[in-house]
Structure formats: C-alpha cells, structure tokens
Structure 1
Amino acid sequence: MDSSSVHEVVHEVVHSDSSALPAKHHDPDTTEPISCGLQTLEELLSWKRSDANLFNVAAVPLAPRDPPLTASARRTLVSHDMMGGYLDDRFTQGTHSDAPYAFYHWQYIDIFNYFTHNMVTIPPVVWTNAAHKHGVVVLGTFITEWTDGAVVCEAFLKDEESYRAVADRLVQISHCYGFDGWLINIENSLSESAVKNTPLFLQYLTEQMHERVPGSLVLWYDSVLEKGELKWQNELNESN
C-alpha cells in the first residue's frame, strides 16, 4: 500500500439509555448496581416484579444437604446483623474493598439470615449465591419496631385481606430474588386484634412460601407475648 492510499474513517454513534430502576438501586458515587431494601408498608404493597433489581437475583440454586434441613434435629442460624447492613456486600457485582466481611465455615451453618433495620430486607445476591453453593438456606427480614412499627402492624394485621396482601408481596419478593424465606421480627407491642391475627398471618405466609419456594422457611422472633406485650423470652414457649 503506497502513500496515496485513502484511509476511511468510520464514525459510530452510541446511544445509552438510563436505567429504568430508581436511583436507590445504584451507588451514588460509582453508579454501580447495589442491593437495598424496602422502607415502608406502602412501598411493599405497591411492589411488583417489574420493580425488581435484576442484578440482585440469585444465580446459584440451593445445593442439596446431607442430611436435609428438615431431618436435622438441631439447626445453626447465623444472623448477619452488622452496622445496619448493606455495607461492602451491597455491591451486586463485587467490591473493591481490601477486607470486606466474609467467613469460611459454611459447613457448620444451616440457615443464614441477612438482617437490617429496613422494614423489608432483601439479602444481597453475593450472600445468597455463596450460601446456596454450600446448601445453606437464606432468609430475608421483615421487621417492625418502636412506635412506627406498631402503627404498621395495626395497619396490616387489622384483617385477613390486609395481612394476606403483605404475605403475598413477601412471597413474590422471595421467589423473584431467589432466596428461601423470611425472619418475621416484630419488636413492638400489638393490640388485641393485631395479636390475634398474627398467627394467621404467619400460617398463611408459611403455606404460600412452601407452595412457591420448595424448601423455604419462615421463622418467628420471640419478642411478643400472646396478649401483645413486648417482652423477649429468648425461647419459644407457651407465652409467645
């Protein structure tokens, strides 16, 4: 090719559409996708599958265990309750941190619960994938606490239609994101009518979870007594 050759220059215009997900699903500093929870009852009840952050959907199925969880006389649960949660582990595509929190004893764990003080905690996918690889069940958290929590409970535990609507959304979220159930953590007092509906809510949630997510689990935190008083028992007994 001599110096008289013509060089063709190709220009390409690249269009990039902004994410359809709300800003909360992206880190404000890096714009990388992150895990996050739901803050209010209204946000939960209006949730639909198109609202899901697809970056946070688990890609690893739950591996079988020997013996299976249902056959275990004793179970070990680890609850990840660290500094409010959603730290380095919030990055769904991994973190550049030199020392993110991690542990290496999955073989001794039956259930992993990711805990924050968001009303609805959706476990970060990095934890769900790691736990599932080792056959460990993963639970999100539904929590109400203090005065605001009591208001939420009175709203959704007032009747069958209301508590079923909350349970249905929790089932949909778990099924969509690929984790295995819920810790129900009510840490506020309940009225007589609300506490009467609580076992019905738990029963319905459990039945629906088992139907949609085989091997799923619903756990009840032992902070409310049968008459609605807030009093921790540190065990499941005839009072709670």
Structure 2
Amino acid sequence: MMDAPATPVRPLILLVDDDAYLLALLANALQASGYDVRLASSAKMAVELLADGSRAPDLALIDMHMPDMNGLQLVHSLSAGQPLPFLMMSASSSEVFVRRAAEQGAVAYLVKPIELAQLVPAVITGIARGREIRALHESETKLTAALLGGRETAMAVGVVMERFHVDSESAFGALRQHARSNQRRLVDVATEFLKNSKVASGIAQRLSGRDSRR
C-alpha cells in the first residue's frame, strides 16, 4: 500500500498589533488565502510566542507603534538569534518612519488602514524575500564555521578570492562544490588546492560557470 502524499506545510505568519479588530481582520484574510497565523496583541506576547520553541514564522507583520515596545525594538529583539523577515505596519506614512523600517530590514511598509487586496501580494513578496535572507544567513554561518574550523580552508578561501577576484562566499562555494562532486572533505580539497594546480583549474571552471556539475 502506497503512503499518502505529505500535506504541504502552510506558510506561518506572525501578526503583532495591539488593535484586536485589525488582528482578527488580517488573520481571517490570511487564513482564507492559505496561511497559518499566530496572533500577538503586544510586543511582550510576541516575544513569548517565539520563545516557546515552536515553529518559527516565515514572516511577521508588526505594528510600528505599540505601548510596551515599538515595532522596531521588537524586531531587534526577535532577530537576535536569526533574521526574522517582517513587514512593518503603521497609521503614519512619515518618511522618517519608512526610512527607519527600511534601515532595520523591513521587506515592506504597509500604511493603515490596510487594503486587503494588497495584503496577500505583500505577504507573498515578503516570504520570498525572507527565504533569500535566511539562505544568505545560513551560507554565511556555514562559511564562518568552516573558516574557524580549519586554517587550510581559510587560507584556500583567501587565495581563491585574490586569484579570481571574487568575494568570500563565492570562493567558499566553489571549494565546497568541488569537494562534494569529488566526494571529499572540504579541508582535504582546500589543502590540495594550495599545492595542486589541477584543483585550482577545477575551481576556476566552477567560478566561470563552465563546469555545471553539482
């Protein structure tokens, strides 16, 4: 008997606003559009929700002005462990507030009253941008761990950067791809690269896009 196909996981949205009516309105609209929703009526409640160890939200919609902690302070608190993609909501369209939200990393700024026709497109864009941010964060974390874990790897990344005029992420990615395709440890490939021109040639091909193997 074949197993039933797994049910796709619905994206999870965290809504944070001290306006109970708006929370309910947005929650109903998002749930009807295929999203799971968690509600927080204060910044303190949002912190508690994310500290309970349950699934992290794919995106947060956060009110700029709340009595116990403003939206930007909340984002700073929630993003301490890993980046939290968020849309900022506010009744003010002040350029100062918009700029502050953008500087903090907001993927969009929604002015109240929020038009429901614009809500879902903004959420779709926010989730996509959030995935990009998290992928970059994960890549940077892996790179940092690899560099801290081996002198040879760090040296090889530096040589690749200088020789091929690329950034550290591209250099590390080329070395890692070469190691994976040859079923070898990264540190061994890095050590050989520092001594062997054949490995250097393979890295050059990957950086130039001529080698499509993964």
TM-score, normalised to structure 2, is 0.29
Pick the structure with more helix per residue.
2
